[in-house]
Amino acid sequence: MILRLAIIGFGNVGQEFARMLMAKRDWLLKSKGLDVEVHVISTKNRGSITSKQPIDLEKALRVMKTEGTLKSYGHETTTLKPAELLSKSDADLMVELSTLNIESGQPARDHIRIAMENGMDVITANKGPIAFEYNDLRNMARSRGVHFRFEGTVMDGTPIFNLVERTLPGCEIIGLTGILNSTSNFILTQMSAGITMDDAIREAQRRGFAESDPSLDIDGWDAAAKITALANVLMDAQANPKMVQRTGIRNVRGEDIREAALKGKKIRMIASARPTADGVELTVSTDLIGPDHLFWSVDGTSSALTIRTDLMGDLTIIETNPSVTQTAYAVFSDMLLIVEAIRAGTV
């Protein structure tokens, strides 16, 4: 089986996914009878490639590393925008890896719609579409007979959505609580060691997991998008991030951290979703937790999620200091699950 991909977004995750495809090519052929070809790579400002023949991923990665752009890849480079590339492409599956837009989830939402309209299966690691428009996109996928997967949108490659879908049949999800933003968790951990917030942010930026503008992290917007995505999929919340009651860590002071430590506690930014008479209440707040709390040991860039169910009680998953490889793996695993579904004739 040949699977032709269009990759929209070629930042850290996209490049790691490309490396994973190269490293696992022989395994895919031998174990899965699957030959994966990339025919479109699109970036916002660093050039795009479209080709009838499979793109040379090694060359694309080399050019991106040495020149910071794909514009010198060769005659296959193009100035077409993602929408045009998707409309003209004969790819079987689109991988959407563009940057989160917390205001609207665009243009990723449009990318997904165009891909589905053109009969493509879709994988996204962009939480925006799931946080803003999950129900409509899910229904569109069903009506078009295409597959739609998004494991990498929350907690990198940790199987949250797949866990519920595949191993908890019949369970109702009646609550979610988690440490979902690794940058803020890292900052709070550093501050507990006596480092200022500004220095902790600079260190997170140096290590490559904080943006030059850390507002989405420290103001709680990233966590808000993630808890919304989780609640939309697992609790039918039909919400968006702007509906989240949100308090980030921007105003946490070193003095607050020290006072908490004197009481034997830590400050953590915790996101939650719980059912109410009016729907699902979503919050992001800075909370004091003690040694008896399940999240007490969740430090650094680690994250955690407790899933409350009606039949299985509480299940807690902890992801320890992930890297970009884990998010790329989520895309890789979603791809394999889609191939499995195609072969089984299911959507």
Catalytic residue positions?
Answer: 226
Reduce the DSSP state of residue 205 to 3 states and report it. helix
Give the pair of three-digit tokens for residue 189.
């951990």
Give the residue ranges of DSSP H helices in the chain: 12-23, 25-32, 57-67, 82-88, 108-117, 127-144, 161-167, 182-192, 197-207, 215-218, 221-235, 254-262, 324-344
Pairing outcome for strands 35-42 and 2-8:
parallel
Residue 284 near residue 224 (C-beta atoms within 8 A): yes
C-beta separation of 98 from 75 below 8 A: no
Beta-strand pair 279-289/245-246 = parallel
To 10 degrees, the CA torsion angle through 79, 82, 88, 91?
120
Selection from 123, 105, 125, 104 nearest residue 115 by Cα = 123
Q: How many residues does the chain have?
A: 347
**The tokens of 71 are what?**
């514009």
Q: Of 62, 21, 61, 20, give the one whose Cα is nearest residue 38.
A: 21
Tell me the pairing of strands 303-309 and 314-319.
antiparallel
